[in-house]
Amino acid sequence: MFESELAILGEGVAFGPGRIDTLGAEVVARAGAPARVLLVADAGVAAAGLTTAAETSLADAGVTVRIFTDVRSDPLAAQIDAAAQAARDLNADLIVGLGGGSAVDVAKMAAGVASGSAPAESYALQCDPFGENVLPIIAVPTTAGTGAEMTQSMVFTAGSGAKLWSDAGNLRPVLALLDPELTVSLPAHLTAATGIDALVHAMESATSHRTKPQTHAPALAAIRLIRRYLPVAVREPTNVEARSAMIIAAALAGRAIDSGGTTIAHALGHALGAVGHVHHGRSVGLSLRVALPGNAEAAPGPHAEVARAFGMEGSSDTDLASALPAAYDAFLREVGLRIDVADSGLTPEDAERLAGEAMKPENAPMRKATLRPIEQPEMLGLARVLLAAT
């Protein structure tokens, strides 16, 4: 199943329904025996029993485990510091991050922070590189979206409330363990939002100033899988073929952003998350929806490639690119993503605030990677359209 897509992912990935049962063996293969592991998991994921199989597999392999579950969505720097301290106290050999992107990001950051004495915030925006002795990380996603299991970057929240990121090659997980059965309990609206996050990763990385030759194969394979299987995963949550396709697609899209990065939808989407507390996947999905017409017009070639992977047909790049925004909008609606943001409490009056947040320096790398210039007036226009959307 999905051999060609798994071949694109290459090494550092273990996939299969029930694969979580091999976690203990994977740890021992990398850390030796007897190993000591900090298991970082979302509290909700632990409460749902999703850590049980991991703990059993680790215990059966003779691994000493301490579990750390103080992880919220958009994790706090203080939580990373606490996880790093737990790793030091345990004298951990390896950190496992099990959960959504937040748990995996905390595991990655904690592995870096634990190797030094400075707090997490001092590593933000690459101010301070991590040392060489970071702990190896195994990532076990329980959503199919963020791709954090494949990347060397992390997003977290400062004590001031600012969203920060950090980036370091030695914090890319040594193994992404992809078990689709861990995602079957995800409710439809989160299946849709996280799947759209993966789609946006794939589309943005393929249409960025930072796009590299190695970006295209994983990005376009992810788009093909998501177009076909996300609606199935939303309709039939226990369909393991669809869940398999989506967990592979999210990893492919993660591999794609690791080389190609993200663009405007992640700049504006992070702002929408900050000011309106809208779920990350929905935020970036709605942001790309308003940015796509201008993006496609400015760069028809790359957008025509995306359109073909999205199943659209036509010989003219310009025609394909100009038809992509409508097809993308229809797909968001097909998977049930809510388009209006009334539930966030935001109105078109908040456009200045939203655009101001999106123009902040921490969002500049993504904004500037877009294949057209986006300065304040354009951002304000996008924010207005987003907040008025129905």
Structure tokens at 330: 């229809």
DSSP-assigned states of every residue in 231-285: HHHHH-TT-HHHHHHHHHHHHHHHHHHHHH---HHHHHHHHHHHHH---HHHHHH
DSSP-assigned states of every residue in 303-338: HHHHHHHTT---S-HHHHHHHHHHHHHHHHHHTT--
CB 134, min distance to Zn ion, A: 23
d(CA 358, CA 71): 25
Rg, C-alpha atoms of the chain: 20
Identify residues 354-373 at the interface with Zn ion (CB under 5 A).
none
54/199 with CB nearer Zn ion: 199
Angle at 245 between CA 335 and CA 196, to 5 degrees: 35
Please give the DSSP secondary-structure letter assigned to residue 121: G
d(CA 250, CA 223): 10
197/350 with CB nearer Zn ion: 197
d(CA 52, CA 92): 20
Q: How far is CA 212 from the centre of its chain?
A: 19
CB 95, min distance to Zn ion, A: 22
CB 120, min distance to Zn ion, A: 20
Residue nearest to Zn ion (CB): 197
CB 286, min distance to Zn ion, A: 12
What number of chain residues touch Zn ion (CB under 5 A)? Answer: 1
148/182 with CB nearer Zn ion: 148
86/256 with CB nearer Zn ion: 256
d(CA 215, CA 301): 15
CB atoms within 10 A of CB 219: 30
Identify residues 121-140 at the interface with Zn ion (CB under 5 A).
none
d(CA 317, CA 324): 11
55/197 with CB nearer Zn ion: 197
CB 266, min distance to Zn ion, A: 6
68/165 with CB nearer Zn ion: 165
CB 201, min distance to Zn ion, A: 6
Q: How far is CA 248 from the centre of its chain?
A: 13
61/250 with CB nearer Zn ion: 250
Identify residues 187-246 at the interface with Zn ion (CB under 5 A).
197
CB 381, min distance to Zn ion, A: 22
> Buried b / exposed e across 261-288, counting CB within 10 Å, b at 16+?
bbbbbbbbbbbbbbbbebbbbbbbbbbb
> Buried b / exposed e across 364-389, counting CB within 10 Å, b at 16+?
ebbbebbbeebeeebbbebbbbbbee
58/139 with CB nearer Zn ion: 139
CB 154, min distance to Zn ion, A: 12
CB 202, min distance to Zn ion, A: 11
d(CA 377, CA 356): 10
198/304 with CB nearer Zn ion: 198
Q: Which stretches of the chain bind Zn ion, using CB under 5 A?
A: 197
